[in-house]
Amino acid sequence: MNPRPSIRRPSLGTVLGFTALIVAVAGTASAGPTHVIVRKGDIAKGAVTAKAIAKGAVHAKALAPGAVNARALANGSVSAANLKAGAVTPATLAPNAVTASALAPGSVYGGALGPAALHTAPVADLDSTAHNGEWTASDTATATCALGERLLTVGIAFTDPGTREVAPLQLIPFSNGSIDGAVGQITSDSGGSATAEVQALCLK
């Protein structure tokens, strides 16, 4: 009868190695998807550029209220050329969003507001004797906008200053609810040699 084979007790190193293997395999099998949270302080300055952002990734719902303001925009980054047609409407602007201080010098002028029309009315020089020291007031002349137009600005132009002893006497813009325009008058010591006109520049 053969003697029973002896079973040797495993060494401590073998036990520890086997235990480590089980832990490693179990950890790999149970590992699920990980979520990495990126905070503002984790992103280097200038790391996120326009090229790094997918098209359409930044939209109105992705922006916190007030996140985009004048201080957040680089000078010249927003101009008429890079705005989609109709992108800025009264409904898209916050109350008081456009103020005088928010507009660059010269950014708003008559030509930017739409087509305009110049309406004129002649003013007669009624002075009878030139250079006699007696200045004569002209009759008033009225330049009016067409129906549906709105007054932009007014002026008096001397198309011929005569002997140059002429001056505007009055220029008054008006609006009566349906017609806009201007009333003007000159004074002269040019002996009737000057010609002038009242001008009303109106938006169509």
pLDDT tens-digit map of 168-200: 999 999 998 889 999 999 999 999 999 999 999
| CA–CA distance, 88 with 175 (Å, rounded to integer) | 29
131-152 pLDDT per residue, tens: 999 999 999 999 999 998 999 9
Token digits of residue 181: 């325009």
- Say if residues 171 and 156 touch (Cβ distance below 8 Å): yes
| CA–CA distance, 162 with 193 (Å, rounded to integer) | 5
Q: Which residue has the higher pLDDT, 156 or 20?
A: 156
> Where do the domains of the chain lie?
114-203
Q: What is the pTM of this model?
A: 0.49
| CA–CA distance, 32 with 40 (Å, rounded to integer) | 26
| CA–CA distance, 48 with 41 (Å, rounded to integer) | 13
Q: Count CB-CB contacts under 10 A for residue 155.
A: 16
Q: Say whether pLDDT at 9 is over 70.
A: no
Nearest alpha-carbon partner for 165 in 199, 122, 133: 133
